[in-house]
Amino acid sequence: MAEVALRAEVGRSLGSRGSRRLRAEGKIPAVVYGHGIEPVAVAVQRRDLRAALTTEAGMNALIDLEVDGRQHLTIVRDLQRDPIRNRVTHVDFILVNRDEVMTVEVPVEVTGSAEEVRRESGTVDQVMFSLTVSATPGNIPNEFVVDVTGMAVGDTVRVGDLRMPSGVTTEVDPEEPVVVAQISRTTLEAEELDAEAAAGAEAGGGEGGEAAEGNAGNQ
């Protein structure tokens, strides 16, 4: 996995007032910590952070963070966002070691079109959107891709079906579903209504026949 360079400014003012001023200047308050060092309050340029996190690696990008002239290998541990505007308001960077096994969330992406499921009026439902894995920083996969093209109603893609790259493991139950192809609720309800209507018609026909036989016997 390629590393992304990012520069952090030290000596930022602490507190909500200082943080608001930084955001007004297009910067984001942040903190760097890990491996026994004291947390360091820093700030990064918003546009530079956005560029760092929009590579193929996404949130798991390895960031070569420059802090006060020194380089630190980090990843983003946490992003805080404004609940209304959804803009990043604070970042936690954690120091990592290239030989250190760490636990991260890797996104699951679904591709393809399940035509057989569509023809049967079914749906393909993604039930797992990220998978927790353990790996060294350089082995963290960008994503897990599930191709649903060949799926039919009743098929399930499970964690055990995902291809784990070399050096990547997960403790998630291999039987946990990731993607499920099934008949949609609307189709099931329509089938139930059809079955009820058919049962009612049979019952009505039976009663009519019995009544006709009774009338014939009375003549």
What residues contact residue 50 under an 8 Å CB cut-off, 6+ apart? none
Q: What are phi and psi of 110, to 5 degrees?
A: -105, 135
DSSP secondary structure code for residue 31 in this structure: E
- Residue-level pLDDT at 203: 64
| pLDDT tens digits along 114-160 | 999 999 888 999 999 999 999 998 899 989 999 999 999 999 999 99
- Topology of domain 3-96 in CATH is Ribosomal Protein L25; Chain P (2.40.240)
Beta carbons within 10 angstroms of residue 146's beta carbon? 19
- Residue-level pLDDT at 82: 84
- 177-183 and 122-126 as β-strands: parallel, antiparallel, unpaired? antiparallel
Six token digits for residue 68: 């006060």
CATH superfamily for domain 104-186: Ribosomal protein L25, C-terminal domain (2.170.120.20)
Which residues does residue 133 pair with via DSSP β-bridges, in sequence order?
A: 104
- Residue-level pLDDT at 196: 56
Delimit the domains of the chain by residue range. 3-96, 104-186
pLDDT beneath 70, residues of the chain: 1-2, 13, 185-219
- Residue-level pLDDT at 195: 57
Rounded Cα gap, residues 139 and 161, in angstroms: 19
Q: pTM for this one?
A: 0.71
Which residues does residue 131 pair with via DSSP β-bridges, in sequence order?
A: 106
- Residue-level pLDDT at 212: 47
111: three-class secondary structure by DSSP: strand
